[in-house]
Structures are given as C-alpha cells and as structure tokens.
Structure 1
Amino acid sequence: MARWSSRVVFEHPFRDLLTTIAGYTAVALERARLLQHRHDVAHVLQTALLTDLPTPDGVTLDGAYVPAVLGDQVGGDWYDALVLPSGDVAVTIGDVTGHDIDAAALMGQLRSLLRGYLWRDDRTPAQTLAQLDAANVGTGVRATASVLLARVGAPGADGSRTLTWSSAGHPPAFVVRASGAVQRLEGQRDLILGVAPGAARNDHTAELWPGDTVVLYTDGLVERRGEDLHRGLDRLAAVLAGGGPGAGATGEPVAAAAHDGPPRVVPVQVVRALVPGDLHEDDIAVLTLRVDPV
C-alpha cells in the first residue's frame, strides 16, 4: 500500500523566498507593536497633562481636546484652569509648536511652570506671561508657544466680573453674551513665547455678566491651509452666534439646553460644528468659562 506523507518539501530557491518573506513579516509586526506602544504612551501622557477642571462657585468650566489625525495623536495644545488663593479664576490655553510627543513633553514643562507662577504670585496675566517667558528660556525648556492667559475676578454687587487677559501671539478669545451676541476680544497680540524674553506684554480687560461665556481655543479650530485667518474667525463667530441646530457644518447644536438663562456653549460640539469628520491636520483645544446665571 502506498504511504502518503503530509510533509511538504520546497525546492531550495522557493524555501529562501519564504524565509525572506517571513523575516519581513516579523519586522513589520514588531514595528507595528512598537508604534502602538508609542501611541499608547503618548495618549497616557496627554491625558495626564490635561487634568480635570475645577468647579469654582458661580463659574462653569468646560474643555475639549482633539488630537491631529496624523502623527502620534498628541501635541502641544493644552488648556488649564486654576482657582487662585485670591479667589480669582485663572484660565489659559496654549499651543506649543508641533503636534507630536516631543511637543507634548515641552507643553507639559511649560504648563507646569505657568501653574507654579499663577499659584505663587498675585500678578496680572501680562506680568505672569513675561515671567513665564523668561523662565522658559532660562531653565532650558526653550519652547516656542502661543498662550492666552486670563483672570476672572470675584463678582461685584451687580453680579459683573472683570476679565483681564494677555495674549502671547494667540488667536483672540470670544465672549458669547447672555443675549446671544458674540464679541471678539480685540487687543494687542504680543510676541509668542520663546522668541524675545523681556519683550513688552500688555493686559486688556472686559466685563462679564451672568450668563456670559468666554470661549478660548487653539488655531487648529479656525485655521485652514491656504485660507486667511479672518475667515476662520468669522466662521467661529457665526457658529457661536447660531448656538443651535444647523449652526455648524455638521448641523449639530453647539450649545446645551439650560433650564434657566441662556444655553451653555459646549466645546466638543463647537469642534464638531467647525471641523467635521477627520479633516483636521492640527491639534485642537477649546476651553469655555461661563458666568452662571443668577
């Protein structure tokens, strides 16, 4: 009786080809594993740096971070808020150049420096940014970054609060008034950090009333390749002014319903309204501060 063997014997050239293919496959799998590990580490780093926002009395804070669709899916964009020893609420948003794990690491160092100065010293935003810029270079961090730093004071007898801000080359903030009107906070944009420590920096002020919402964001929300920045700012203003279904490119509402007073602007819905799908090539961060209605 004939006996069949299940063993397959390959000719010498074919055996060498299979060995080569197996080697390439093993290398590709190892690279994929390392890339996934790098992505996981980067994601953990970004999540750790974007800590939970505080819940100060009379103010509602909300934030969103959306990474770029390419690269490590982390970057140099961040938002932060602190209730200071004086009782003021400090909010900041910034964008370190780059959108990879190196930018995220620089962002973490810059953010930590800023937090320390805010907590220790009762200075104006312009003074704090000047101090941060000097330390940025003096300590060897040397990050180039745009930052907008603002402080919201305690309420006055009429419920109003003073907003004081300074911009280190950052796009202007907006205020969505309780009436629905949208105001762009115009003011001089000073030099970004990391370029010329010691350059003059300026403070600006505006009054906030119950129901008003301050909207801070990074340039990934409004900038488009080959398009003037003002068009992006106008588009954001239109979305904030709409505040309801159909206001954005996706038709999603950008505000959440409220039982009393004006609706609350929701950062993640602002992002979806302006940047539908996976079209963004840059990181995006949005932070809102709402003075609670009385």
Structure 2
Amino acid sequence: MIGGQAPATDTGDGRSALPGGDALDYRDLFDALAVPKIVLDPDLVVLDANRSYTELLGMPVDALVGRTLADALAQVPGGPPPVPHAMDAIARCLRTGMPEVVEPTRWDLPDPRTGETGPRYWMLLALPVTRAGDAAVRAVVVRVEEVDAADVEGTDGYATPERLSWHSTVARMRANAAAERDAAVTLQSSVLIPPPEVPGLAVDVRYQPANRITRVGGDWYDVVLRESGRAVLVVGDVAGHDVDAAATMSHLKGVLRTVAVEDDAGPAAILDRAERAAAVLRIEAFAAITVAVVEPPAPDGSRRVTWARAGSLPPLVRRADLGAELHGERPGRLFGLRLPEARPESTLVLAPGASLLLFTDGLVERRGEPLVDSLEHLREDVEQVVDARLERLADCVLARSTPIRGADDVAVVALQVDGAPAVGPEAVGTMTG
C-alpha cells in the first residue's frame, strides 16, 4: 500500500481497478501526460498519439493514426520533414530493443504563442515496447521534449554548457549501452565454448538467449572429457536473463567443471560437491541442473549413461530406430537448497546410433500449457525429425520446440553413439537405476 491507498488490481481487460471499484483507463492516462508522445508499430506506422503531441502538431489524432511517421509529419502545414538521424534512432530501437536518445535536433514548427514558424529544438527518446516473456519489440514510444533554442545555439556562436552537457549525456548513455553489450559478448565467448572432441561420440550444443541485446543469460551447457575417457555433460539454468545472471552462471559453471574432472565422481556426487563448494565460495544462487556421465564404449559399441537431476527436466532419448522417449524417473532437489537427502541417479545403456538430449526449460515451457504436455510435444517433434544426423536433430528441436523466441534462455546438449544402428530390441537400450 502507498499512502494508505490499496493498490490497483488488474481487471483482465487491459485496465486496472482502482480502490472503490472504478477502472483506470490508460487512454485517459496517456492523454494526461504533459510531454508529447507518439506510439509507432514496427513499420513506423502511427498507432496513437497523446493530446500533447497532437497539440504540438496542431492536428487531430485521427489525422495521424494509420499513417507512417514520415507521412504523418508531411501533413503538418509547414511542419518538420523527417530528420534522418532521428528516424535511424527509432529504427535502431525497433531492431535492438534498446532505448535510443537523440540529442537536440532542429524542427521548425509554429510557435503556439505567436503563430510564427521559427527554429525550435527537440530531444527525442525512443522506448521499446515488449510483452512480458517476449523480447520481440512490438511498438516504440517516442517522447519529444522541447529545449531552449538559446541554450542550443548560444548567443555568441559557441556551444553553451547546456549543449555540451547534452552531448556528454547522450554520448555516455550510448557508450554505456555499447560497453554492456561488449562485456556480455566477451562473457558469452569465454563461458559458452565449443565442446571437446569425444572419441566414439558425436556431441553437439545449442544456446539461444532470451535477451537479444546482451546475448547471454543464466542458462549454460558444458562438456568435460576426463582422462579416463568418460565424458561429463551438463546443462544448467540460473534464474534471470541479464549480465548479473550470466555472471552467477559463469561462477557455477566453473565450480561444476572443476568438480567434474575428478574421475571418481558420479553425477549425484558432482552436484553435491559443487553445491558445497558454491556455499563455501558464497555463490548464492538456485539453479536447475542436469549432470550426465557417459562411460567408455562396451565391446558391442554401446554406452552406459548415468545422470542426476537437480530440479531439472528429464532427458530425452532418440532410439536408433528414430523413436523417442522421455526418461523422467527420480528427480532430485534444486541446486542450492542443500537438503540432507541424497540425489538419486538413473542409468541408461545407449545402443549405437541412439541419441541423448539434455535441455533447459526454455526449450519447452509454454504459457498456459501444462509442462507434461509441453514435454510430450517435444517428444513428438523429435520423432518427426527423420534426419539421423545429430546436428540436424539439434537444429530442428531448437527451431520447432522453442515456444516463444525470447521468452527464456535455452541451452541444449545432445550426444549420439557412433556405430551402425542395432536391429531389433537392442536399438532401444536398457534402463536401470
């Protein structure tokens, strides 16, 4: 509660209920804003404009809505032509999903006090509009603010302190955004590295970030090859889609990688030891993680795989005959809870030609759909991939199963046992544990 008032509640129709049962109409709120604002769709067509904007142009909102921004401005008598660098900034906002600031720009409009057209200066701020759970930019709100011409031009032909300050602020905001993107890309390239070559196995990985700008988030994959020839596969998910989540993810990945090289550690032991190490190092995070250990080949070429799940989703097996099945037996507790019970392990023997798929929840979770149904859709998608090559399986799964691009990070690790597929029951493999 704020100031003793009960908060507004959602009415389900895009409005909010105020205390007393009245509905807050956001159209009225938009019109009440003193600063001119206009809303554009991805094609730069005007969706709406508030009263301050229409009064600025001296045109009714109906004369603007449905026109492109360039066409709408062309309707203003003696109005401003589209300024190329301002239009470029709006286009960048749509493309990148990042706010864009345009330093004071001259647009000649009639002065409301005198009616005379003369030099007037405006700062523009373009803000992306997205929907919760989806990073795609659906619209852009452009905020227009007039600044004093004397501050911009100066009286003696030199830039004023205000002008220099605006230059500095705009440059700093752009530099900060660029630095964040560069830092995220550097972090991603150092953490999400290609998997090592594993003799007798094809291993492939995929990563798709929710945040299209920083290109990194809280999900990760890893493949560690031990001296004994055992391979350790990991997929993990730390909550969040920003650089902070990525930093926490990189710490956890480093801890797990260090523990995973020890040849005596099975998947449950890897999770337990990493959890204790993270607590000592004060890495405070909860994560859903799957760890799988793949044994060297048996005489018939099959591979024994043992995995443990820390609050994560079940692995999926594509048999050599291209049928698919989920293995959701015995999940374990979420990483970071540090509860006393032991994490269970499950074991499967993969025949030559069979594949194993480990993935984070961003691959399957759909808003409003039960998780069990989403997992079944994934299984069906895998069975529809008729190409036996592992890289095609990974590509198709990512393309067909990701429900909303940008809704959540996705990490996938896939492996396939080399060799000619077995014929008959041997193609399925056996489940133990």
TM-score normalised over the length of structure 1 = 0.84
Q: Distance in 2 between matches of 1:165 and 1:97?
A: 22
Letter in 1 for 2:253: R
Separation in 2, partners of 1:96, 1:227: 22
The count of residues paired between Structure 1 and Structure 2 equals 269
Describe the superposition over 1:24-61 as per-residue Cα deviations: whole angstroms up to 9, x where unpaired: 46523421221121011111101110122111111010
Aligned counterpart for 2:416 among listed residues 269, 286, 290: 290
Q: Residue 67 of structure 1 aligns with which residue?
A: 209
Q: Distance in 2 between matches of 1:270 and 1:221?
A: 8
Q: 1:198: Cα distance to partner?
A: 3.6
The answer to whether the 8 A contact 2:302-2:352 is kept is yes
**1:71/1:229 CA distance change after superposition, 3 Å:** farther
- Give the counterpart letter for 2:353 in structure 1: G
Residue identity opposite 1:271 in structure 2: L
Secondary structure at 2:317's aligned position in 1? strand
Gaps of 5+ in 1: 1-8, 245-254, 256-261
Does residue 269 of the first structure (1) align with residue 396 of the second (2)?
yes
Q: Does 1:154 align with 2:296?
A: yes
RMSD between superposed Cα atoms in Å: 2.4
Letter of the 2:286 partner, please give it.
T
Distance 2:208 2:389 in 1: 23
Q: 1:141 aligns with which of 272, 275, 283?
A: 283
* Residue range with higher mean Cα deviation, 19-28 or 196-205: 19-28
Contact map agreement 2:385 2:393 (CA 8 A) in 1 = no
1:36 partner letter: A
The AA in structure 2 aligned to 1:270 is: V
Distance 2:250 2:223 in 1: 14
Structure 2 partner of 1:108 = 250
Alignment match, 1:213: 355
SS at match of 1:183: strand
Contact 1:53–1:61 under 8 Å retained in 2: yes
Q: Does the Cα contact within 8 Å between 1:137 and 1:197 map onto a contact in 2?
A: no
Matched, 1:92 2:227: no
Task: Identify which range, 214-223 or 18-27, moves more after superposition.
Answer: 18-27
Q: Separation in 2 of the partners of 1:269 and 1:23?
A: 51
Q: Unaligned stretches of 5+ in structure 2? A: 1-117, 121-147, 154-159, 421-433
1:14: which partner in 2? Answer: 149
Q: Aligned AA for 1:268? A: D
Q: Take 1:137 and 1:94, find their aligned partners in 2: how far apart are those partners?
A: 17
C-alpha displacement at 1:101, in angstroms?
Answer: 0.9
Aligned to 1:95, the other structure's residue is in SS state strand
Distance change in 2, residues 1:58/1:17 (3 Å) = same
Aligned 1:133-282 pairs, distance under 5 A: 133-244=275-386, 255=387, 262-264=388-390, 265-275=392-402, 279-282=405-408
CA distance in 2 between counterparts of 1:114 and 1:223 reads 25
1:41 paired residue number: 183
SS in 1 for 2:301: coil
CA distance in 1, matches of 2:378, 2:219: 18
1: CA distance between counterparts of 2:223 and 2:389?
22
DSSP-derived class of the 2:207 partner: strand
Give the letter for the 2:382 counterpart. L
Rounded to whole Å, the distance in 2 between the matches of 1:291 and 1:203 is: 21
1:188 and 1:71 mapped to 2: Cα distance?
Answer: 37
Once the two structures are overlaid, the 10-residue window that deviates more, 24-33 or 221-230, is 24-33
* Paired-residue identity, %: 33
Partner amino acid, structure 2, of 1:291: V
Look up the SS of the partner of 1:120 in the other structure: coil
- Which stretch of structure 1 is more off in the superposition, 114-123 or 65-74? 65-74
Bigger mean CA deviation after superposition, 161-170 or 132-141:
132-141
Code of the residue aligned with 2:397 in structure 1: it is V
Alignment TM-score, normalising by the size of structure 2: 0.58
Aligned 8 A contact 1:174 1:184 in 2: yes
Instruction: Tell me, in whole angstroms, the C-alpha distance in 1 between the residues paired with 2:333 and 2:414.
Output: 24
Taking the aligned partners of 1:203 and 1:47, their CA distance within structure 2 comes to: 32
Q: Give the CA deviation at 1:70.
A: 5.3
Q: Is the 8 A contact 2:192 2:220 kept in 1?
A: yes
Matched, 1:54 2:196: yes
C-alpha contact 2:224 2:231 (8 A) present in aligned 1: yes
Moved over 6 A (4+): none
The answer to whether the 8 A contact 1:220-1:280 is kept is: no
| CA distance in 1 between partners of 2:251 and 2:225 (Å) | 20
Rounded Cα–Cα distance in structure 1 between residues aligned with 2:152 and 2:330? 66
| 2:132 aligned residue | none
Tell me the secondary structure at the aligned position of residue 163 of structure 1: strand
Amino acid at match of 1:124: G
**2:221 corresponds to:** 79
- After superposition, the Cα gap between the structure-2 partners of 1:15 and 1:103, relative to the gap in structure 1 and judged at 3 Å, is same
C-alpha separation in 2, matches of 1:98 and 1:237? 27
Structure 2 residue matching 1:104: 3-state secondary structure:
helix
After superposition, the Cα gap between the structure-2 partners of 1:22 and 1:273, relative to the gap in structure 1 and judged at 3 Å, is farther
